[in-house]
Chains A and B, each alone.
Chain A
Amino acid sequence: MQSYASVAAQNTHASNSSLSTALSAFDDDGGRHGFRSSEALNVNEATGPSGPSSVALAPATTTSTTTTTLTTTTSTSNSTSTSTSKRTLRCRMQSPLSVLSASPDYSKVLVGGKDVLKILRISDADVKEWLNLRAGLKTQLNYSLTDAKWAPPFAEATIASAYLNGDILIWDLNRGSQKQAFSLKDHDQSVNRLSFSPIERVLLLSACQDATVKLWDLRDKSGPSTTFEGRADKVRDVQFSPTSPYEFIAAFENGDVQKWDLRKPSEPERRWSAHFGLALTIDWHPDGSVFASAGRDKVIKFWDTKAEGRKPFQTIQTSSHVARIAWRPSSNGIPAHQIASCSLAVDSKLTVWDLGRGFVAEWAVEEHDDPITDFLWTDADVVWTVSKDHMFVRQDLHVAGYHPSALLSPCAADWNQYGDLTFSIPHKVTTFHPPTHPPSSLKTKHPSATNIHSAPINTGSLPAIAVRTSSSSAQSTASPLNQIPTIPSPHPGPIAQLSAIYETESFNHVSFIQLAYTYKTTTSPHPTPSEIWDLCMHNSEAASNLDLPRASQTWKFLGLLFGTDTPAPTTSTNPALFKKASTALPHSQKTTPSQQYTHTPPPEFTTDPFPEEDLDDEPDILDSDTDSDDDDEDVRFNQAALKASKRGISVTTAGQYTGAAWFKRTPFTTTGEHGFEDSSDDEAITNAGSSLASTTAGGGRLMVGLANWNPRSTVTIPGVIHTSEVASIDSTNHHVSGGVETAVAAVAAQEPKWVFEGIAVPQLDHEKLAKDVLEFYGELGNAQMCCTILMVLRGALGGAKIDARVKEVWVSSYVDLLHRFKLWTPASHILSHCSIPSIQSRTQESTTFHTACGFCSKPIPNAPQPGWVCERCLAVTSTCGLCHGPVKGAFTWCFGCQHGGHLQCMAKWFERNRECCCGCGHVCVFT
């Protein structure tokens, strides 16, 4: 708001033409901006005539700032309204207030409470006590005030007040010191409400606890001219029609609302069973054909007196018992379409509702600390309120109010474990359909008013949902989509929501579920290398079958690390022999390993082994599909591998790069420049120290030799091609992060087979590497991998210093995920076999068995004899079908005939028999 104000200030100094340009520019921007410009103008005007104080004085400046910034939808009526915003005025009385009535010219206001009845004078700047009606009274007012009304124009010196004992006092302000003119006595119970006729100013209606409404002619002081008996219940509210001199409506405690004609006092003209519980308040629409009612059931209902039928044409759900309602006067000639309400208890807000939105208020003002007891509108934006907190407040919606809808999120979204994202987002609807059932009366009277009544269901064209990925745009249509009723025309941009489910592939749950079953782990605390080797190869295969090359390679990598015997001495000359199984070699060339693998690393490699060329620029990795996941993860993995290798060796000089391992392989045709060809049949490699990595001379391809090879075994690993993914890093130009894949793909196409016959044994920090691998997967959130690795390696991880808490996170996250997919069996397996005590203990918790006797169906308490004897019928609950002894442990039975017994007995019996041991003749099937 301040920024707008400053804009306006500049404009005042600018020429008129520039101001108009600014405004027209605003208008071009559409409704919302139009509102802003008018705000700026308002500030302008405010600073104009009444001086800068009118802005500075406003006690609610901060509130107004917030409100303005909160505002998303604002009635356009504001933009054309020329009135300046009124600052909030307050006046404190000595006791709680419950009654409020304004003089016809709104210069004074009558406020009253149980023992207060005063007139306040209100100016733009302040509010002051003008007259205390109770002062100097001859007759003592022993009863509490219940209502008071200032008479309409042409009788403006007249005030009527009602009391708990049924008295009605008429005051004449033109009299001298003693203002009380006379009293009207006919009710003998509390008078709940008074209503002056706006047309016949001498007519007054009183609604009474004695279930009657009485009509008084102030010229006739003898008694009521007519008594209307609603035959319903106590009358809580009554109101003369604003347009007809004869009609009034009344609200009853049984929930009835009745419409009467003065000329027909015997029975009501219409009656509606309007509310569940007390009907507390009613208010005529200014057009005189529609009225609203509300009460304890928290619903404001709108009735068309001209329409047939017993149903309201619109309802608004409020959040608390409604004490009073009043239509908000409208500007611009639009019929009133908003109504204010205050609550009976708890809620101290004044809430303004729009007929177009049945659940969310358009405005709320919270200037009181206690519930508002009575209020009235003086114009479209200014409300006077009195409350139990002793205060009278004059407030302007645009200063003190806020839009509750602006507090409500128009968005919602949530993910599930399948990677689905369900969302609702705001969607501006531009096309409208006219309302379907406008009340006939309003339709004829105010053609422009058609959209105020029914809440038209917006059936505007269904929008398509576009998903734009960073690289390409793909579109897909969703329908049907959620539409909320449009808010009627005074709202600039009706907001609907667009809801759909976006099925991302951010989580490959199919593979996850598959692997949960196929991954093998060990239960032995210190698995032997061969056991680890078998498990790793099995798991590698499992991952490979699901097209997860990285996981597959990781398993191989781990298998190589841990699945072999203790490393051989590293200083010896090792025959590292890799024989290629496939015979087809385009051309072989003998080189010495030192020639082949020794090179000086390029400077950028030594300085920074983790190239910063960000893959962010590549749209592919942003894609949510699994493949790209694997790609970017692969790259990271390469780095991790490189990191690992870096720890294993120091990558500084050429000498240390002497190849530890010799790979004989087909040329890397796709890597381009320097074909990777080497063949050295039975060439011995001098292992120059603990070199782990070997790089090609020029091709920039770093081969991380992972093998801690066991000379005993000759293993053929199909598809080792992926080594390049695990163990190769392009060290010179990082463009080959893509090149890696190309290479892999190319090699994959060639399907080479490798035979490892022997290998130099580098000394590796196994634990460290394993830890790096685990942490790498941990960072990716791949708890499945982490947990499975932990459960395969177990004791072999030995020295790896992994925080026990982190392990616990991995295992419990994995178990949690398994539970989410309802994979109970794998989850239980992990829970019961993992070595972390706190996780294991979870199996001991909150597992309950309920046992019931098979004879009497009564539950068998667990203690002291668990399970096999029923204490009630003193029977053994289950006996073995073969030996007839009680079965205290596992009872196995045939699902076909229900007979069974001890596991051993059954096993023994069915070794030789096929039919049931009980003689039932059933050919039992035991699984």
Chain B
Amino acid sequence: MVQYEPLIAPFAPDHSDLVHDIQYDFYGKRIATCSSDQRVKVWHIDSETEGWEVADAWKAHDCSIVKVAWAHPEFGSVLASCSYDRSIKIWEEQEHDECPDPQSLSLWSLTSETQLLTHQSPKETDRLPITWCPSRFHPPQLVIATSTSHRLFLPCQNYRLSAASLWMPFERLDPHSDADVLDVAWAPNMGRSYELVATGSRDGVVRIFKLVWIDIIEESGVAVESGGGKGMWKVDLVASLADHGAAVWRVSWNLLGTVLSSCGEDGKVRVWRAGVGREECQWVCSQVIGASDA
């Protein structure tokens, strides 16, 4: 078997503090980074050097920026950022002075509000990692992890948009652990018969949940309406991967939903793949990336 030399290309975000999020755009040709230095940077590949160069960088918020997200290109070149300054900002790239339809971006209204925590005023220490179900063939749904300093909740829960456009809690993703969940990621699905959701938590364990949709059929033979979808998730914890041994802050799937990467406080990136040979897939670490000790 040919051993491929893994390729590591340089990428220097050059922020003045920690980088908290990195996001490729839809075409994979641009990168947005955000940092505690209150700046968002957009990178593109320089045609001459073929390296990543800053296309734009600006002070976006008054506090640590923890997330950035690109919109689908059908909405233009649009980027959202959220920060501990309690604001979400939507940015649109303007190559020309004219803005095609400014209204479409500036008018955002709250469509729904759901109480997740038991106490009224959320504290800064409440972490709520959140992930959308990327499939357009399920009703809109999320998995939200609630920080477990509020023990009344299990860490992860599936929320679905009900017919009355309310977000209702449904199945729980029980990790059999009370550690804080720091990140949660719903895998893209290109035609698998089941869904995968990965979590990274403070106890250093990467967990993978398998969600199988089961249609609920009433006796009359009509499917039961439950939270916008006719059925329920059968949730199984299929993997608990404790290799990091330190808080796992980021889990992310590749675009096919077949490879998972996790980053931990141990300063390592681990790449996980489903081992094959069994009906139940087994997840195994295929790569460990980190600073070499040498």
Which residues of A pack against B, CB within 8 Å? Answer: 62, 66, 69-70, 72, 298, 317-320, 346, 349, 357-360, 364, 366, 369, 402, 404, 407-428, 463-472, 474-482, 484-485, 495, 497-507, 610-616, 620-625, 627-628, 631-633, 635-636, 775, 777-783, 786, 805-806, 808-810, 812-814, 817, 819-822, 846
Contact = CB atoms under 8 A, between A and B. Distances in A.
B76 interface: no
Given A425-B268, A498-B291, 15 more contacts: A69-B202, A358-B17, A402-B125, A409-B250, A412-B22, A414-B252, A418-B28, A426-B265, A428-B267, A469-B287, A484-B16, A495-B18, A507-B256, A783-B190, A809-B137
A408 B277 contact: no
A500 B190 contact: no
B209 interface: no
A411 B264 contact: yes
Given A359-B17, A504-B259, A420 B28 contact: yes
B236 to A, nearest CB: 16
Contacts of B156: none
A810 B292 contact: no
Contacts of A613: 277
B6 A624 contact: yes
B250 A502 contact: no
Contact of B137 (A407, A504, A615, A805): A805
Interface stretch (B30-38, B89-97, B164-172, B219-227): B30-38
Nearest to B200: A411
A468 B287 contact: yes
Contact of A413 (B182, B263, B265): B263
Contacts of A357: 17
A614 B282 contact: yes
Nearest to A467: B6
A402 B19 CA distance: 21
B125 A466 contact: no
26 contacts: A360-B36, A402-B125, A407-B125, A423-B22, A424-B13, A465-B291, A465-B292, A475-B294, A481-B10, A485-B16, A498-B291, A499-B12, A500-B289, A502-B271, A504-B271, A506-B256, A507-B255, A615-B275, A622-B285, A624-B271, A624-B287, A628-B1, A635-B277, A777-B191, A781-B256, A820-B27
A660 B52 CA distance: 59
Contacts of A479: 10
Interface residues of B, number: 95
B20 to A, nearest CB: 5
B19 A482 contact: yes
Contact of B1 (A72, A465, A505, A620): A620
Interface string B215-259: 000000000000000000000000000000000011011111111
B176 interface: no
Contact of A499 (B19, B21, B191, B268): B19
B74 interface: yes
Contacts of A632: 275-276
Q: Is the interface of A mostly helix, strand, loop or mixed?
A: mixed
Given A778-B190, A783-B191, A414 B22 contact: yes
B85 interface: yes
Interface in B119-177: 121, 123-125, 127, 135-137, 149
B63 interface: yes
Given A360-B36, A817-B255, A409 B290 contact: no
Contacts of A404: 64, 84, 124
Nearest to B61: A319
A359 B287 contact: no
Interface of B: 1-24, 26-28, 31, 33, 36-38, 52, 62-64, 66, 74, 84-86, 121, 123-125, 127, 135-137, 149, 182-183, 188-193, 202, 249-250, 252-259, 261, 263-265, 267-269, 271, 273, 275-279, 282, 284-294
Contact of B292 (A411, A414, A475, A805): A475
Nearest to A358: B16
Sort A-B residue pairs by CB-CB distance and give the 10 closest, nearest first.
A416-B28, A411-B263, A466-B292, A616-B275, A622-B286, A778-B191, A319-B63, A781-B256, A463-B291, A503-B7
Contacts of B278: 610, 612, 614
Nearest to A466: B292
Contact of B24 (A422, A495, A507, A779): A422
A503 B9 contact: yes
Q: Is the interface of B mostly helix, strand, loop or mixed?
A: loop
B10 A501 contact: yes
Q: Which of B16, B17, B273, B291 has the most CB of A within 10 A?
A: B291
B263 A412 contact: yes
Contacts of B192: 778-779, 781
B6 A504 contact: yes
Contacts of A360: 17-18, 36, 64
Contacts of A472: 3
A786 B16 contact: no
Contacts of A358: 16-17, 37
B135 A502 contact: no
Contacts of A413: 22, 250, 252, 261, 263, 269
B6 A614 contact: no
Contacts of A821: 27
Nearest to B30: A416
Given A481-B12, A485-B16, A624-B271, A506 B22 contact: no
Contacts of A501: 8-11, 52
A476 B18 contact: no
A498 to B, nearest CB: 5
B233 to A, nearest CB: 16
B271 to A, nearest CB: 7
Given A467-B288, A625-B2, A635 B276 contact: yes
A584 to B, nearest CB: 31
Q: Which of B22, B191, B284 has the most CB of A within 10 A?
A: B191
Contacts of A481: 10, 12
A552 to B, nearest CB: 20
A418 B37 CA distance: 29
A810 B264 CA distance: 33
A349 B13 CA distance: 30
Contacts of A499: 11-13, 19
Contacts of B20: 408-409, 412
A357 B35 CA distance: 13
A808 B286 CA distance: 32
Contacts of A505: 4
B62 to A, nearest CB: 5
Contact of B7 (A427, A476, A495, A498): A476
